Amino acid sequence: GENVEQHPSTLSVQEGDSAVIKCTYSDSASNYFPWYKQELGKGPQLIIDIRSNVGEKKDQRIAVTLNKTAKHFSLHITETQPEDSAVYFCAASESGGGADGLTFGKGTHLIIQP
């Protein structure tokens, strides 16, 4: 089955700086890679996703890059703000996202220092 590794487990950055979280996956058949933000006591919220036919996707301050050859993908957050503090999860799926369950990484606790 799929295995997703996520690093780092904790990331502390100064407000205004950029944050990068990296994930690797094992199953070359995976073709859908979402990123979720989870705040304390809440469910995960989808913030951006990318499919295997695209190398990069951007949405305002958030971007995701995908390297299929190396089987890794990364989340980039620029101009970080205090409200970006949360736990971020990467995930992978080989079915397009909506038909089978997601395999999640272990999460990154992002702390934005004022």
Positions touching another protein (CB under 8 A) are: 34, 36, 41-46, 49, 89, 95-107
Residue 52's Cα: distance from chain center in Å? 14
d(CA 64, CA 71): 14
Considering the complex, state which of residue 14 and residue 26 has its C-beta at the smaller distance from another protein: 26
d(CA 10, CA 57): 24
Which of 109, 82, 96 shows the shortest CA–CA distance to 14? Answer: 82
* Residue 17 C-beta: closest distance to another protein, Å: 25
Considering the complex, state which of residue 14 and residue 66 has its C-beta at the smaller distance from another protein: 66
* Residue 96 C-beta: closest distance to another protein, Å: 4
Residues paired with residue 75 on neighbouring β-strands, in sequence order: 21, 64
Considering the complex, state which of residue 99 and residue 114 has its C-beta at the smaller distance from another protein: 99
* Residue 92 C-beta: closest distance to another protein, Å: 12
Which of 105, 95, 76, 78 shows the shortest CA–CA distance to 32? Answer: 95
* Residue 11 C-beta: closest distance to another protein, Å: 15
Considering the complex, state which of residue 16 and residue 53 has its C-beta at the smaller distance from another protein: 53
Residues paired with residue 38 on neighbouring β-strands, in sequence order: 87
